[in-house]
Amino acid sequence: MTIVHSLERSAEVLKYSKSVIVFAGAGLSAESGLPTFRDQGGLWEGHRVEDVAEPGGFTRDPLLVWRFYAERQTRQLQVQPNAGHFALAQMETHFPDFLLVTQNVDNLSERAGSQKIVKIHGDLMEVWCSLCSWKSRLDMPVVLESLRSVDDIPRCPKCAELVRPGVVWFGEMLPPGTIDVSLSTAAKADVLLIVGTSGLVSGGYGLAETTKASGGTVVEINPAETYLSGIVDICIRSASSVALPKLLALIVS
Ligand code: OAD
């Protein structure tokens, strides 16, 4: 299959589309100042996944895990959405049928105005009970200030177990319903826009196959080639903060 490299061609296809699904990853927030995971200097270069992103890591050292996520929440509250987040929020109002499926646990898309979002890896602003289904929103930096030992970690008001960051870890199920709604939307989408993800986890390939199987077009926006590049129809090799506003301008013109 020949892959077309063209922002203009992507805009042409989008211009005549009614149903659009976006599958986003850490690259979308990179230019806001949040590190990706697998790029140089990414989060997984500086931390061992098994320590901070697996249930076993939390069991072994909950304090380390709390500090890691509280620092990430602090950082996300200090940075601002970029032009890519704002362009996606605008696209949501332009297409009759639109869904942003994001792997990002940051809140930058919401802060840019996106409302039709499915957060398949959880939400860094939330905490979940490590045992029961209780969940809540929590200002982690405030907790961090008084976090000296495991005894300072908040406990679930329902079952008294330790509270954990509201983020999906490796080996865990994605939040109920998120895969179903993503796949059913991908199946009727005219376009699947894959933005800023290496595609190495969480079903990006399956979404692309689903959209293609029903005759839709798959577009990738990423400055680098990825695991998903082989399946896409059109590539835009550019930062999302540059490509998305340009696409939006061409779509609405
Ligand atoms: P990765 O770090 O795996 O990939 C980031 C992608 O963003 C790479 O393909 C980069 O080329 C691309 N990128 C970098 N800068 C960009 C920019 N300015 N514009 C557009 N793209 C850019 O991050 P994800 O694919 O999001 O899961 O990782 C998926 C999941 O793996 C994460 O949600 C996380 C991680 O383990 C959990 O924490 C559960």
pLDDT of residue 114: 98
Q: State yes or no: pLDDT of 63 exceeds 90.
A: yes
pLDDT of residue 5: 84
Overall average pLDDT of the 195-202 stretch = 92
- What burial class does residue 141 get, using C-beta atoms within 10 Å of its C-beta: 0-12 exposed, 13-18 middle, 19+ buried? middle
Please tell me the distance from the alpha carbon of residue 212 to that of residue 251, in angstroms, as a whole number.
21
Q: 175 CA distance to ligand 1 centroid (A)?
A: 20
Instruction: Give per-residue pLDDT as tens, 94-120.
Output: 999 999 999 999 999 999 999 999 999
Q: 26 CA distance to ligand 1 centroid (A)?
A: 4
Instruction: Give per-residue pLDDT as tens, 162-172.
Output: 999 999 999 99
User: Which listed residue (5, 47, 85, 121) is catalytic?
Assistant: 121
Q: Which range, of 43-47, 118-122, 160-164, 232-236, averages the lowest pLDDT?
A: 43-47
Q: Which range, of 35-39, 112-116, 141-145, 232-236, averages the lowest pLDDT?
A: 141-145
Does residue 184 contact residue 200 with C-beta atoms inside 8 Å?
Answer: no
Does residue 201 contact residue 107 with C-beta atoms inside 8 Å?
Answer: no
pLDDT of residue 240: 98
Q: How many CA atoms lie within 13 A of 237 on its CB side?
A: 7
Q: 221 CA distance to ligand 1 centroid (A)?
A: 12
Ligand 1 atom with least separation from CA of 44: 36
Q: Look up 121 and say whether it is catalytic.
A: yes
Overall average pLDDT of the 192-206 stretch = 92
Q: State yes or no: pLDDT of 2 exceeds 70.
A: no
Which of 38, 47, 50 is the best mutation target for the ligand 1 pocket, counting ligand atoms within 8 Å of the beta carbon and taking the most? Answer: 38
pLDDT of residue 30: 97
| DSSP count for the chain of H helices, then E strands | 12, 10
- pTM score, two decimals? 0.96
∠ CA 92-72-42, nearest 5°, is: 85
Instruction: Give per-residue pLDDT as tens, 10-30.
Output: 999 999 999 999 999 999 999
Q: State yes or no: pLDDT of 212 exceeds 90.
A: yes
Q: Which among 141, 189, 200 is positioned nearest to 165, based on CA atoms? A: 141
pLDDT of residue 1: 61
Supply the mean pLDDT for the chain: 94
Instruction: Give per-residue pLDDT as tens, 129-143.
Output: 999 999 999 888 788
Confidence of residue 144 (pLDDT cuts 50, 70, 90): confident
Find the helix or strand (DSSP H, E) in which 110 lies.
helix 108-112
DSSP 63: H
Confidence of residue 122 (pLDDT cuts 50, 70, 90): very high
Q: 224 CA distance to ligand 1 centroid (A)?
A: 11
Q: State yes or no: pLDDT of 36 exceeds 70.
A: yes
Ligand 1 atom with least separation from CA of 169: 39
